[in-house]
Structure 1
Amino acid sequence: MVSMPHNALITGPPRSGKTTALERTVSRLRTAGYSVGGLSAPDRRKDGERVGFELVDIASGDREVMADVAYTAGPRVGTYRVDVSAIDRLTRTALPAALRSADCIVIDEIAPMQLESERFVRETKRALESPTPVLAAIKDGETDGGIGDVKHRTDTELFRVEPATRDALPETLAAWVRSVTQP
């Protein structure tokens, strides 16, 4: 018997609306009484320009600066330096807590910055292997390495953010979560 995928991967080019779609989906799920946990990675801006990224525990609101253009240490991903210890600190608490008590786990996003953390990789894999549905934004285009490993899982369904689907996607994803959590 083939089981229905219980992990939804949201992909699209940078700035296509993946994070916004996930934020709106979380809002819909919470309004419907679902508890949601996990991590989000909003960008940080200064004078309208992106200067870095935060990592936020969706359930508690705890946050850390994950990457910044001004950092001088840490792995380089694009124009940013990554604070792996910040990713480790939030991942250590947010994903295990979501696994214990959330009806849905959100991971925004599975991308090169986050993959610098072995803890993030390990906890993300645990979440994807759990019976709890996972909604995860994932870097567009790549099919190799850690990102490829996630995309090639047989327990995932892919949702692409496109101009024609962007506005309807949060309701589509909320309905998907409701369908996989029905007995």
Structure 2
Amino acid sequence: MANKIKFFIITGDPGVGKTTLTKKLCSSLNSKGVKTTGFFTEEIRRNKVREGFDIVTLDGRRGRLARDQSLLPVPVKYTVGKYGVLIHEFENIALSSIKQTDDSQTLLVIDEIGKMEFFSSHFKSRIKEIFSSDSKNIVVATIPVRKSDPLIESIRNNSMARVWTVTRVNRNNVHEDILNEIYLSIK
């Protein structure tokens, strides 16, 4: 018998719509009475220029993940391109939003598991726990499309995971396929 899918992984190029798709999935699931918890990562723009990224929990708490270093009063230790990663602000919001739960009817949403987020050793440890074989969580998560960190690759190749690659062609209709798979897993 095949392993039951517990990890619904969304990948795709930057800007293709992974976060938008994840929000759409949450909205559809919530409307059917499925509880969700976790966070999204949102771009912050001013006058059409990206200034950085915020982390926003599904219950509405918000904090900064990264900002253009030119907008920060002091240099930060971790950077990705022109962005300084604000580890403590990220951890204060993210870690409490992705606590493991024994409730198999609550979906854990993690958008995104990537380079910026992995500067946090606490976040990386929590991700290891969540994606372990004895975890009871059902997870919807986004990961980078390019091969990167060994932990991200272990998520991509997990026997209990199914990966969808979002493209500009399929991004408006792939949600139905993912929703159907999720409904099969939570029944």
The two structures have a TM-score, normalised by structure 2, of 0.89
Deviates more, 1:16-25 or 1:167-176: 167-176
Aligned partners of 1:144, 1:120: CA distance in 2, in Å? 14
Question: Post-superposition shift, 1:154?
Answer: 2.1
Measured in 2, the distance between the counterparts of 1:152 and 1:78 equals: 28
Q: Does residue 20 in structure 1 map to residue 23 in structure 2?
A: no
Question: Number of residue pairs matched?
Answer: 180
Distance in 1, Cα, partners of 2:149 & 2:102: 30
CA offsets 1:34-78 (integer angstroms, 9 cap, x no match): 0000111011111111110001111x2111011000232130112
CA-CA distance at 1:144 after TM superposition: 4.0
SS at match of 2:112: strand
Percent identity between the aligned chains?
24
Q: Quick check: which one's helix share is greater?
A: 1
Indicate the larger mover: 144-153 or 162-171. Answer: 144-153
Please state how far the C-alpha of 1:148 moved relative to its aligned partner: 1.9
Report the CA distance between 1:143 and its aligned residue.
Answer: 4.4
- Of the candidates 77, 98, 102, which is equivalent to residue 80 of structure 2? 77
Q: TM-score, normalised by structure 1?
A: 0.91
Match of 1:163 in 2: 168
Partners of 1:68 and 1:156 lie apart in 2 by 32
- Give the unaligned 5+ runs of structure 2: none
Root-mean-square deviation (CA, aligned residues, Å) is 1.6
Tell me the distance in 1 between the aligned counterparts of 2:30 and 2:54: 22
**Distance change >3 Å, CA 114–CA 170, structure 1 → 2:** same
* 3-state SS of 1:175 partner: helix
For 2:102 and 2:125, locate their aligned partners in 1 and report how far apart those are by CA, in whole Å: 16
Where does the alignment leave 5 or more consecutive residues of structure 1 unmatched? none
Is the 8 Å Cα contact of residues 38 and 110 (structure 2) preserved in structure 1? yes
Q: 2:185 aligns with which of 171, 180, 183?
A: 180
CA contact (8 A) 2:44 2:54 kept: yes
Pairing 1:34–2:37 present: no
Q: Report if the CA contact (8 A) 1:87-1:120 is conserved.
A: no
Structure 1 residue matching 2:116: 3-state secondary structure = helix
| Aligned ranges 1:1-183 → 2 under 5 Å | 1-58=1-58, 60-69=59-68, 70-71=71-72, 72-96=75-99, 99=101, 103-129=106-132, 130-182=135-187
Equivalent residue of 2:123, what SS?
helix
- Summarize deviations over 1:70-92 as a string: whole Å, max 9, x none: 23213011210001111211133
For residue 43 of structure 2, what is the amino acid of its counterpart? D
Q: Secondary structure of the equivalent of 2:98?
A: helix
